[in-house]
């Protein structure tokens, strides 16, 4: 095996977009897998949360689609504007989950699940925001 010389490389710790890419890919993977689980178990979940089976299935499908889109966006070369968009989407989902916990006729389990999803999206919005900031200072 021979080494290829002349190709510029950077060490992992020199990369300025690694945090944002990681946070986006982790968010996409976890959201997509959770969406798949929600779509598969939509009927049993509906009796626990207070939502209809159709609504649970639609939420699961949306989460899977979101996961695929964000995972694809994480591969783009210009990550700053994409990252800002994903942070904004996560902030919007956080606010939507909080409003849903109050406005929808959910069971106690449904309210807990909605608030847990708000914490999840706020956490990833924060990580992705740090990743965008890291790009801005580089």
> Is residue 9 assigned to a domain?
no
Q: Is residue 1 part of a domain?
A: no
* Within a domain: 82: yes
Of the two residues 15 and 80, the one the predictor is more confident about is: 80
Model pLDDT for residues 16-58, shown as the tens digit of each residue: 678 999 999 999 999 999 999 999 999 999 999 999 999 999 9
User: Is the pLDDT score of 14 beyond 90?
Assistant: no
d(CA 37, CA 104): 22
**What pLDDT does 69 receive?**
96
Q: What is the pLDDT of residue 10?
A: 46
pLDDT of residue 15: 58
Structural domain for 90, as ranges? 17-137
Is residue 11 situated within a structural domain? no
Predicted local distance difference test score (pLDDT) of residue 24: 96
**Looking at the 3D structure of the chain, how many domains does it have?**
1
Position 105 in a domain: yes
Q: Is residue 73 part of a domain?
A: yes
Average pLDDT over residues 65-92: 94
Cα 133–chain centre separation: 18
pLDDT tens-digit profile of 88-138?
A: 999 999 999 999 999 999 999 999 999 999 999 999 999 999 999 988 776
Q: What angle do CA 118, 124, 130 make, to 5 degrees?
A: 135
The separation between CA 100 and the C-alpha centre of its own chain, rounded to angstroms, equals 18
Tokens of 33: 């897998």
Return the residue matching tokens 């798949």.
36
């Amino acid at each position: 095996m021979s080494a290829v010389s002349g190709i510029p490389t950077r060490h992992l710790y020199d990369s300025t977009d690694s945090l944002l890419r990681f946070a986006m890919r982790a968010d996409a993977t976890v959201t997509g897998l959770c969406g798949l689980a929600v779509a598969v178990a939509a009927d049993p979940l509906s009796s626990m949360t207070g939502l209809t089976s159709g609504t649970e299935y639609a939420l699961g499908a949306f989460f899977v689609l979101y996961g695929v889109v964000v995972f694809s966006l994480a591969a783009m070369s210009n990550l700053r504007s994409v990252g800002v968009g994903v942070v904004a989407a996560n902030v919007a989902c956080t606010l939507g989950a909080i409003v849903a916990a109050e406005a929808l006729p959910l069971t106690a389990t449904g309210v807990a699940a909605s608030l847990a999803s708000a914490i999840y999206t706020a956490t990833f919005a924060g990580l992705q925001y740090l990743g965008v900031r890291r790009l801005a200072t580089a």
